[in-house]
Structures are given as structure tokens and as C-alpha cells.
Amino acid sequence: MGLAYIYNIAKVDGASSTRFHQVNLGANYALSKRTSLYGIAIAQKAVGAGLGVDPATGGAVNYAQIPNLPNSGSDKQLSVTLGIRHNF
């Protein structure tokens, strides 16, 4: 089992900034010598001035941006992956 907390800050114009708080959790459970189950959860929250632009208003808005996933339509994003692994 693993747990991580990641904090990123992005300063766009020197005065305002957007901050990303992210928590990652992963676990692996062995069913046999060659087969295991795994699960990974990633949750992210964006706070601050905003890096995105709201298409309706044109104002700055925060969108959560977990890497390798499409941007969220809000300031929060959650990714859950479950799987089974068999080694040959």
C-alpha cells in the first residue's frame, strides 16, 4: 500500500497563483504467486486564481488537471483504477 500527497503551485502573472492539492492511494493484494489485484485512487482539488477560462463568462476558473486524463469541468477531479494482474 502506498499513499502520497502532492502540492503544486503555478504563478501566472507574478501576483496571482493556482494551487493543486493531490492525494494518491495505491494498494496491491496477492491472490496467488502469479496473480494479484490492484487499485489506485487519485483525488485533486484546485484552488486560487484559476488557470482556465470559463467559456460562458470569460472569467478565470480553476479546473483540476490530473495528468493523462482530460481536464475536469470543475475544481475537483477523482480517478479510480481497479485491475487484475497475472504474470506469465
Structural domain of 17: 2-86
- What whole-number distance in Å separates Cα of residue 10 and Cα of residue 41? 24
Q: For residue 62, how many other CB atoms are within 10 A of its CB?
A: 20
- Residue 15, pLDDT score: 66
- What whole-number distance in Å separates Cα of residue 52 and Cα of residue 60? 6
Number of domains in the chain: 1
Q: For residue 64, how many other CB atoms are within 10 A of its CB?
A: 22
- Residue 6, pLDDT score: 96
- Residue 48, pLDDT score: 82
pLDDT 10s digit of each residue in the chain, 88 long? 999 999 998 877 766 788 899 999 999 999 999 999 999 999 999 988 777 777 788 777 888 888 888 888 888 999 999 999 999 9
